[in-house]
Amino acid sequence: MKDAFWYYSLNKSPLTPPNWVFPVIWTILYLMIALSFLFYIKGGFNKDKVIPFIIFIIQLALNFSWAPVYFGKHNILLAFWIIIFLIVFVFVNIILFYKKSKIAAYLLIPYFIWIVFAAYLNFEIVMLN
């Protein structure tokens, strides 16, 4: 991790998992996100799937923007707001995917739970530092 000393020097929640947990969890979640999308577009892509697709892309963009803001810029407050928006967009994504594919929606639920937990961890870092 670039600039690991900065991250290790932060005061963290006692519920912060060991560092090895994060890549394991994210690997599983990214596979589930990809599978969710594949189940969603199964059967073709039509105009009814455009808005949910846009929401999916927005939540991915928010997801991918969090780490550079948090670890790159060390802006833990902005990263917290990004993850709050991410939670909202993933929740909406689950609802919209559910209308076309229940499996696609269910595959996003662990992701949603994890980012809620990650938001808690991010919030604790904001409050403790």
Q: How many domains does one find in the chain? A: 1
Q: Is residue 40 part of a domain?
A: no
Q: Is residue 34 part of a domain?
A: no
Q: Is residue 102 part of a domain?
A: yes
pTM: 0.94
Could you tell me which of 57, 40, 36, 59 has the C-alpha nearest to residue 48? 40
Range of the domain at 88: 59-129
Q: Per-residue confidence of the chain (129 residues) as pLDDT tens digits? A: 556 789 999 999 999 999 999 999 999 999 999 999 999 999 788 899 999 999 999 999 999 999 999 999 999 999 999 999 999 999 999 999 999 999 999 999 999 999 999 999 999 999 999
Tens digits of per-residue pLDDT, 74-101? Answer: 999 999 999 999 999 999 999 999 999 9
DSSP secondary structure letter of residue 47: G
Q: Is residue 89 part of a domain?
A: yes
Q: Is residue 25 part of a domain?
A: no
No. of helices (H) and no. of strands (E), the chain: 5, 0
- pLDDT attached to residue 1: 53
| 2-36 as b/e: b if 16+ CB within 10 A | eeeeeeeeeeeeeeeeeeeeeeebbeebeebbeeb
